[in-house]
Amino acid sequence: MANGDTVQVKVVVDGEDDQERNELATKLRRELLRLDVDAVERPTAGEAPAGTRAIGPAEIGALLVTFTKGATALASLVAAVRSWLAARGAGTVKLQLGGDTIEVTGRLSEEQKALVEGWIRAHERG
């Protein structure tokens, strides 16, 4: 993608149940809104039939982060997620860009850091 393109990353927090994932996503959303992003929204599945949920269980705990691609935009998003996880002391967040997904934790081994950095570089170039 060329510089200036809009990028949307799906961010999914882990949790014991739907309520915990929802609460964690709400907290993470507040943190991500501090970044230079265009939007941090909950995904919707459109109009829900009467008596059903608007989003499915897989979407609970999910956020869609939209930003204009820049040299450090994706790296800043990953750094913010890692910082939030480190402050929590536990947990995993999945980041999905296109069909490519990576799991991020607050404390990464050197091998995991290299994988995350490679994922970021691949998408900043791509």
Q: What is the pLDDT of residues 56-93, one digit of tens each?
A: 555 889 999 999 887 688 999 999 999 999 998 889 99
Confidence of residue 5 (pLDDT cuts 50, 70, 90): confident
What integer pLDDT is reported at residue 49 of this predicted model?
A: 47
Residue 92 within any structural domain of the chain: yes
Answer whether residue 98 is part of any domain: yes
**pTM for this prediction:** 0.83
Does residue 67 fall inside a structural domain? yes
Type of residue numbered 75: A
The tokens describing 47, both together, are 């109009």
Q: Please, what's the b/e burial string for 20-31 (b: 16 or more CB within 10 A of its CB; e: otherwise)? A: ebbebbeebbee
User: Is there a domain that residue 1 lies in?
Assistant: no
Tell me which of 11 and 125 has the higher pLDDT: 11
Residue 68's pLDDT is: 87
Distance CA 95, CA 12 (A): 7
What value does the mean pLDDT of the chain take?
Answer: 85
SS3 6: strand
Residue 98 has pLDDT above 90, yes or no: no
Domain hosting 25: range is 6-46+55-125
Looking at per-residue pLDDT, the higher value among 126 and 51 belongs to: 126
pLDDT of residue 47: 53
Write down the pLDDT at residue 66.
95
Tell me how many domains the chain contains.
1
Residue 126: pLDDT band (50, 70, 90) is low
Percent of the chain, pLDDT > 70? Answer: 84
